[in-house]
Structure 1
Amino acid sequence: MTKTYLKASLASVAVLASLASFASAGAETVTLNIESWRNDDLQIWNEKIIPAFEKANPDIHLVFQPTAPTEYNAALNAKLSAGTAGDIITCRPFDASLDLFKKNQLTSLNDLSGIDKNFSEIAKAAWSTDDGKTTFCVPVASVLHGFIYNKDAFDKLKLTPPKTVAEFYQVLDKIKADGTYIPMAMGTKDQWEAATMGYQNIGPTYWKGEEGRKALVAGKEKLTDPEWVKPLQELAKWKDYLGDGYQAQAYPDSQNLFTLGRAAIYPAGSWEISQFKSQADFKMGAFPPPVEKEGDTCYISDHPDLGMGMNAKTAHPDAVKKFLAWLATPDFATIYSNALPGFFSLQSAKIDVKDPLAQEFLSWRGKCKSTIRSTYQILSRGTPNLENETWVATANVINGTQTPEEAAKHLQDGLDSWYKPDQK
């Protein structure tokens, strides 16, 4: 073998080795860790969501690493500060995530594929700056408010789901008069249900959803105005339909009363759907918050629950963006909405939801105007915290220890003590 041939052969081997090395490097799988508080979703992510993404993206491996909900915020903040947080951050709505963005721990997603095309401004509001110009988390899911009812009980008592407020009380009166069922299962011991499933459920009907909420933020409306006092006046009527001892009734007690068939109606968040279906042995239906009179526009609380964003310090920004862009597609929305009935995609595209009760909730988006909970954006940044104060005030109104007018004044006085609309 000549020296020239040997050199050529060795050079060829070197080139092939280099190419093999390059190909091997190019085929390496990137691992992305996902931070979340939804520890109850671990199985769904591992069995349904992650396999669907990895099938289409074999070069990216996802690891879902949830933390207990009560520990998530503190744990995430500590990890982000130490530089040990996962690549993908599951985002709480509004201020908690906005703070992370302001600290440069989450990145702008304005240039992400699908972020503008597939989501409305309302859908993005929970993960955007106050001026709406920058979105920093992909909206993933929301929960809807309304009323779940026992269909068997309604059939037995020959009742139909109410459409107007007057019909709502007629139904409650008939259930109460019959005596077989508690008309509505809700207690005031834990307070938050009175605000969340009561006030924020029926309130948008009176303050006209986003119109009223934005006017309140702008200082153009007050909590003492008639449209804000009216839902408190309605809640005051509820105490006659909640059954004996409702003041000492905790959230799990209310759930049990309904799933055991002892109550006919449950003021609900759609997150109850999966649990109720696994526990109740009767058929269920749902109806949206009743309107004041036939023909009125209906409003629903379509409240953002979680989004997902990119850790600004991730070593794999391109891979993270590929995953986040997938979250903005109808394919993901369909998988997620059917894996977790009652947690609805915030995408504008119509999603085919298989579960009948979840589909009933979802159908309201096509009939009613969506809004978010009135206390969540901007108005609970100070002390006293309007969200927490609303828990107490609404429970007091239902218990009869505070009049609707007194509660409204208390809430507005607290807000006035720190909130200046032009300085938000």
Structure 2
Amino acid sequence: MKYFLKSLVFFAVCFSAIAQSGTLVIESWREDGDIWNNKIIPAFTAQYPNIKVEYKHTVATEYNDQLNQRLKGGNAGDIITCRPFDDSLKLYQAGHLEDLTDVDGMENFPSFAQSAWQTDDGAVTFCLPLASVIHGFFYNKAIFSELGLQEPKTVAEFFVVLEKVQGQGKYLPIAMGTKDKWEAATMGFQNIGPNYWKGEDGRFALISGEGKLSSAEYVAVLEQLARWGQFMGEHQARGYVEAIKIFADGKAAIYPAGSWDISAFNNKIELGVFRPPVSNSGDDCFISDHTDIGIGVNVNSKNKEEAMTFIRWMASEEFAGIFTNALPGFFSLSNHFIDVQDETAKKMIAWREECDSTIRNSYQILNRGKPSLELEIWETSVGVIGGTMQPQDAANRLQTGLEGWYKPE
């Protein structure tokens, strides 16, 4: 026991010494150490050779608790990788994160990108937006070629494709399951929904109270999801991992996707991608370009000047290009031009030029009460896909649940 306590004290002292030694320590839950150590940090130190940087990983499920303990104990790193919305907002409100509102380079990030790391009134931005993930649909190019299919641009064309695959009988039309529930909401509801509720306008209308989840545009989203079920096979028993395997093994034509899954299919199938179809040809389009990772500065950093230098560099075009190409499917949130190398990622990021970006509508402010709006979207999305819930009833449930606790100011 004494040995364990001595070891624990030694570890704490060593970590504290690192955090105060003049070496910038980056706290993160992401297992991207190789990329940071071999690509990102060398690019920074090439410009700033006198600033040393160390990347420190904490297991994702333990990150919040351990980071809070270190921040309270005064031995946390200098740079804090920020989860979106309330987790990081709480850190700022507790006095742990610097105000970065006016940091040089913040002007390179659009308002929707900053919203994940701002106070509710938008007055303060406390983390620099780092990366987003984009939703759409992956498809197997070989299957599309074999069956004479084209990328669908409208909802009607989308269902024509599904019906042709179904009719041929050789492949599963949609490789998605409902066992884990979150996929139905994330790759279903939040993927196709922005085209119906008009992106940020619809999202802000919910926050202001002017919009209702029981209104026609939300019913229409759920009506489309209800039509998916017949094309998904035995989806009730299929989880996220199984869905990936079915698509990667060439047994399904379409995979409702988040860009983070690009690497799961590269070098396995000939991967194509199309954006969420619009209702009518020529309609304005909207994509879920969801804020995923930010970066902030520890208020109590002993190397604050160096930390701010690092943050300003991360707002640059150079960093945007390095990061986006090092992690295909995680896109810099800056408005810099990025020469994306991965073909699938390149096509997805180009949608920003064609469509308006928005974020998942349950994440900012609207998921703080009970019932959780996010979890309710899980349940209702699964319900309509499985045919156990009618779209209007599902939409009414979402609105009733939100009204039960949320009072717009």
TM-score range, shorter chain: over 0.9
- Mapping 1:306-317, distance limit 5 Å: 306-317=293-304
Deviation at 1:225, TM superposition (A): 0.4
- For residues 88 and 354 of structure 2, the distance between their equivalents in structure 1, rounded to whole angstroms, comes to 31
1:35 counterpart (27, 30, 44)? 27
AA aligned to 1:241 is: F
Superposed CA deviations along residues 242-281 of structure 1, whole A, max 9, x for unmatched, are 12x2101010000000000000100000000112114x1x
1:258 counterpart (244, 247, 250)? 247
2:159 counterpart (158, 166, 169)? 169
Q: Does 1:218 align with 2:208?
A: yes
**TM-score (normalised: structure 2):** 0.94
Alignment partner, residue 17 of structure 2:
none
2:324 counterpart (324, 329, 337)? 337
- Aligned residues, how many? 390
Superposed CA deviations along residues 151-183 of structure 1, whole A, max 9, x for unmatched, are 000000110100000000000000111111100
Alignment partner, residue 71 of structure 1:
62
- For residues 214 and 253 of structure 1, the distance between their equivalents in structure 2, rounded to whole angstroms, comes to 35
Alignment partner, residue 81 of structure 1:
72
Superposed CA deviations along residues 106-142 of structure 1, whole A, max 9, x for unmatched, are 01012311112x1111111101111112111010100
Deviation at 1:310, TM superposition (A): 0.3
1:186 counterpart (165, 176, 180)? 176
Work out the percentage of aligned pairs sharing the same amino acid: 53
Aligned 8 A contact 1:207 1:213 in 2 = yes
Alignment partner, residue 379 of structure 2:
392
- For residues 167 and 391 of structure 1, the distance between their equivalents in structure 2, rounded to whole angstroms, comes to 26
Q: Does 1:138 align with 2:124?
A: no
Tell me, what secondary structure is at the counterpart of 2:77?
A: coil
1:97 counterpart (71, 85, 88)? 88
AA aligned to 1:30 is: G
- For residues 69 and 390 of structure 2, the distance between their equivalents in structure 1, rounded to whole angstroms, comes to 43
1:417 counterpart (384, 404, 409)? 404
Flag structure 1 segments of 5+ consecutive residues without an equivalent: 1-27
2:272 counterpart (285, 292, 295)? 285
Tell me, what secondary structure is at the counterpart of 2:388?
A: coil
Deviation at 1:29, TM superposition (A): 8.2
Flag structure 2 segments of 5+ consecutive residues without an equivalent: 1-19
Aligned 8 A contact 2:22 2:302 in 1 = no
Aligned 8 A contact 2:297 2:307 in 1 = yes
- For residues 77 and 193 of structure 1, the distance between their equivalents in structure 2, rounded to whole angstroms, comes to 29
Aligned 8 A contact 2:248 2:264 in 1 = no
**TM-score (normalised: structure 1):** 0.91
Alignment partner, residue 12 of structure 2:
none
CA root-mean-square deviation: 1.1
AA aligned to 2:272 is: G
Deviation at 1:292, TM superposition (A): 0.4
- For residues 242 and 147 of structure 2, the distance between their equivalents in structure 1, rounded to whole angstroms, comes to 24
Aligned 8 A contact 1:224 1:408 in 2 = yes
2:188 counterpart (194, 198, 203)? 198
- For residues 303 and 33 of structure 2, the distance between their equivalents in structure 1, rounded to whole angstroms, comes to 23
- For residues 93 and 354 of structure 2, the distance between their equivalents in structure 1, rounded to whole angstroms, comes to 37
Q: Which has the larger radius of gyration?
A: 1
Aligned 8 A contact 2:139 2:273 in 1 = yes
- For residues 92 and 29 of structure 1, the distance between their equivalents in structure 2, rounded to whole angstroms, comes to 26
Alignment partner, residue 149 of structure 2:
159
2:40 counterpart (41, 49, 53)? 49
- For residues 248 and 40 of structure 2, the distance between their equivalents in structure 1, rounded to whole angstroms, comes to 29
Aligned 8 A contact 2:79 2:298 in 1 = yes
- For residues 349 and 361 of structure 2, the distance between their equivalents in structure 1, rounded to whole angstroms, comes to 21
